[in-house]
């Protein structure tokens, strides 16, 4: 009995220490924006807009149909489906929403708790684009991809784009992307900590890789000193994931919440 009491006390101490550490970590950050997706129906129009259908691969099937971007039972559902609308010539429809014109930020932490499904041609993504594009059109003003998943892969990609990477082809000086595993079929927290001198990418609180600002370089290598907005989408097809297998549809990215923090001032 004494031994059991000792073990129990040790367990309580360890639990308290764990909680204290978590609380201390949280005190370093203050939430400045979030969406918990608590109201059923269309995404909150005060926070999100539809991305709209455009020519890039990720956007060529975007729609504002509720069946492709819907909040239900506390979760945002972004779906890729076969298009059954006779008045629309696109073969597929995809859910694509963004905070452009509603919210953007510079430096801080972004966390998105999401669950991914799989299928040939599936391409869900959590990413960020510059609000103003002060250094010019893509890729000059940068792009930050917090999560991109392809097809049936057991891993996902975290990537940055810039003139340094995409025009000068400096793809290993420094390394511009990483692949990381995730809990398949479960919710995961995809994260980014953004500082004036680096981008730290994370999965479930663990760092996957860091993209640094290189000393002596200018906006060609580091355009990440301006406000960016958030994009969530469940794309289909394109050059990267390849052709879509309609038999695998629908696919969907489920988003439990999106939270943005900035560091508390010392």
φ, ψ (nearest 5 deg) of residue 141: -95, 5
Among the options 23, 38, 84, 148, which is catalytic?
148
The answer to whether 165 touches 77, Cβ cutoff 8 Å, is no
Q: 79-110: b or e for each residue (b if 16 or more CB lie within 10 Å)?
A: bbbebeeeeeeeebbbbbbbbbeebbbeebbb
Q: Classify 226 in phi/psi space as left (phi over 0), alpha (psi -120 to 50) or beta.
A: beta
Within a 10 A sphere around the Cβ of 208, how many other Cβ atoms?
18
> What residues does 155 pair with on adjacent strands?
181
> What residues does 260 pair with on adjacent strands?
33, 110
Q: H-helix or E-strand containing 55?
A: none
Within a 10 A sphere around the Cβ of 145, how many other Cβ atoms?
20
Question: What is the Cβ-side half-sphere exposure of residue 210, based on CA atoms within 13 angstroms?
Answer: 10
C-alpha distances in angstroms, 154 versus 62, 116, 184, 206, 239?
25, 11, 7, 17, 20
The pair of structure tokens assigned to 110 is: 């972004």
Among the options 70, 143, 193, 252, which is catalytic?
143
The answer to whether 97 touches 79, Cβ cutoff 8 Å, is no
State yes or no: is 148 an active-site residue.
yes
Residues carrying an active site annotation = 143, 148
């Amino acid at each position: 009995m004494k031994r059991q009491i000792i073990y129990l006390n040790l367990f309580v101490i360890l639990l308290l220490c764990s909680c204290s550490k978590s609380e201390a970590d949280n005190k370093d950050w203050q939430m400045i924006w979030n969406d918990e997706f608590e109201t059923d129906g269309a995404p909150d129009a005060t926070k999100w807009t539809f991305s709209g259908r455009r020519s890039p691969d990720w956007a060529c099937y975007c729609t504002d149909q509720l069946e492709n971007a819907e909040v239900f039972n506390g979760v945002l559902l972004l779906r890729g489906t076969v298009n059954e609308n006779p008045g629309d010539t696109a073969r597929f429809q995809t859910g694509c929403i963004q905070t452009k014109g509603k919210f953007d930020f510079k430096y801080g932490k972004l966390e998105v708790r999401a669950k991914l499904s799989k299928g040939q041609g599936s391409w869900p993504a959590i990413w960020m684009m510059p609000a103003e594009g002060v250094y010019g059109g893509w890729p000059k003003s940068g792009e930050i991809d917090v999560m991109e998943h392809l097809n049936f892969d057991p891993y996902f990609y975290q990537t940055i784009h810039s003139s340094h990477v995409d025009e000068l082809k400096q793809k290993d000086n420094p390394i511009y992307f990483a692949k990381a595993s995730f809990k398949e079929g479960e919710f995961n927290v995809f994260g980014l900590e953004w500082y004036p001198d680096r981008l730290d990418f994370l999965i479930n609180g663990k760092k996957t890789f860091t993209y640094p600002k290189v000393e002596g370089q200018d906006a060609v290598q580091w355009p990440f000193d301006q406000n960016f907005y958030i994009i969530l989408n469940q794309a289909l097809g394109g050059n990267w994931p390849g052709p879509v297998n309609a038999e695998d549809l629908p696919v969907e990215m489920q988003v439990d919440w999106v939270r943005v923090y900035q560091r508390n001032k010392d």
